[in-house]
Amino acid sequence: MTLQRLARPLTLVLLSAVVLYPLVWMLGSSFKSPSEVLNNVAVLPEEWTPSNYTDGWSNFDVSFGRFFLNSALVAGLTVVANCISCLLAAYAFARLKFRLRGFWFAIMIGTLLLPGHVLIVPQFVMFKTFGWVGGDWPYAPLIVPQLLATEAFFVFLMVQFMRGVPRDLDEAATIDGCSPYGVFRHVILPLSRPALVSTAIFSFIWTWNDFFRQLVYLSDLEKYTAPVALTLFIDSSGQSSVGPMFAMSVLSLAPVFLFFVAFQRMLVEGINTSGLKG
C-alpha cells in the first residue's frame, strides 16, 4: 500500500525532472565560458562567468534591451488586437443570426487545419504588395492581420464560452431596450473576462516566442525582437558566443514565465469555463 501511494508522486517528480532539466541546464550554461559549454555537460559550471550577461546585453550596436522593448510592443499590440477582434467575431457566431452562419463557422474552424508555414509565401506576397514589408512600420504584417480575427482558435474558445452564457440574460436585456450592441456591451462583455484572459495569455506567450514570422518580416537590426536577435550570436562562419547567447535566452524566458505565473489561475478558469475540458 505504501509503494502504491508513493508511486504517483515519484512518477510526477521524475517527469518534472525530465521536463525541467533543459531549462536548468540552460540556466547553468549561462554562467559557463564558451569552451566549458561545449565540454562540460554538468548543470553547474566549474568556473562561474557572470560576465556573460553583461556581454550579451551589449554585444551588438543595439542594446539587447531594445530587442526586449520591440518584443513587448509586438506582443502587447497583438494581445489587444486578438482580444478585440476575436471577441466580436465570437459574439457574431454565438449570438447573432445571419445566413450561412454554420457554414462560415465551419470554414473558420477548418482554417485550424492549415499549417502556418503554408500561408507564409502568399501572405508575404500580399503584404509586399501593400508596402508593409520593409516599410516605415515593419511590424504591420505581424499585428494588422490580428485585427481581422485571424486566430480561429481564440474565436472558437470564446464561442464555446458564450454558448455557456444563458440566453435568458440576452432576452432580459432586449426587453429592457438593448440592441444587439447593447447586449454585447452590458451582458456578454462583462461575463467574458475569463475567456479574454485566456486569449491574452496565449497571445502573449505565442507572440513573444514567435521566431519564424518575425524573422521573415523584420530586416532592420533596430526592429528585431528578442527571438530573432538571439540568432545574432551565431555568425555566418559558424562561430558563436554560446555563453552570452544562453544568458540572453534565460532573460528572454523570464517575461513569459512571470506572465504565466501571474495569470495561471485565470488561465485555468478560462479554459474550464470555455468548454475545453480534458
**Does residue 120 sit within a domain?**
yes
Task: Please check whether residue 21 is in contact with residue 14, taking contact to mean a CB–CB distance below 8 angstroms.
Answer: no
Stated as kind and residue range, the H or E segment containing 210 is none
**Does residue 38 sit within a domain?**
no
Give how many domains the chain has, as a whole number. Answer: 1
Left, alpha or beta for 42 (phi > 0: left; psi -120 to 50: alpha)?
beta
Range with lowest mean pLDDT among 114-128, 170-184, 235-249? 235-249
Question: 3-class SS at 1?
Answer: coil
Lookup result for grid cell 503584404: 127
| Structure confidence at residue 5 as a pLDDT band (50, 70, 90) | confident
- Crossing angle of helices 2-29 and 242-262, in 10° steps, is 130
Task: Please check whether residue 43 is in contact with residue 24, taking contact to mean a CB–CB distance below 8 angstroms.
Answer: yes
pLDDT at residue 277 in the model: 42
214 pLDDT more than 90: yes
- Residue 110 in grid coordinates: 477548418
| Structure confidence at residue 72 as a pLDDT band (50, 70, 90) | very high
Question: 3-class SS at 114?
Answer: coil
Q: Which domain holds residue 186?
A: 61-233
pLDDT tens, residue by residue, 77-93 = 999 999 999 999 999 99
Stated as kind and residue range, the H or E segment containing 198 is helix 193-209
**Does residue 114 sit within a domain?**
yes
- φ, ψ dihedrals at 78, nearest 5°: -65, -40
Burial of 110 (0-12, 13-18, 19+ CB in 10 A): exposed
Range with lowest mean pLDDT among 170-174, 187-191, 218-222, 272-276? 272-276
**Does residue 88 sit within a domain?**
yes
Question: Of 225, 217, 213, which is closest to residue 75 (Cα–Cα)?
Answer: 225
| Number of continuous H segments (helices) and E segments (strands) in the chain | 16, 0
Residue range 249-253: average pLDDT? Answer: 91
239 pLDDT more than 70: no
CATH number at residue 69: 1.10.3720.10
- Residue 191 in grid coordinates: 461575463
- Residue 250 in grid coordinates: 534565460
252 pLDDT more than 50: yes
Task: Please check whether residue 273 is in contact with residue 161, taking contact to mean a CB–CB distance below 8 angstroms.
Answer: yes
**Does residue 19 sit within a domain?**
no
| Structure confidence at residue 116 as a pLDDT band (50, 70, 90) | confident
Count of beta carbons in the 10 Å neighbourhood of residue 192: 23
**Does residue 142 sit within a domain?**
yes
CA distance 18 to 5: 21
237 pLDDT more than 60: no
- Residue 209 in grid coordinates: 516566442
CA distance 75 to 207: 5
pLDDT at residue 41 in the model: 79
Most confidently modeled range among 214-223, 229-238, 254-263: 214-223
pLDDT at residue 141 in the model: 94
Average pLDDT, the chain: 87
Left, alpha or beta for 151 (phi > 0: left; psi -120 to 50: alpha)?
beta
**Does residue 225 sit within a domain?**
yes
pLDDT at residue 278 in the model: 37
pLDDT at residue 269 in the model: 64
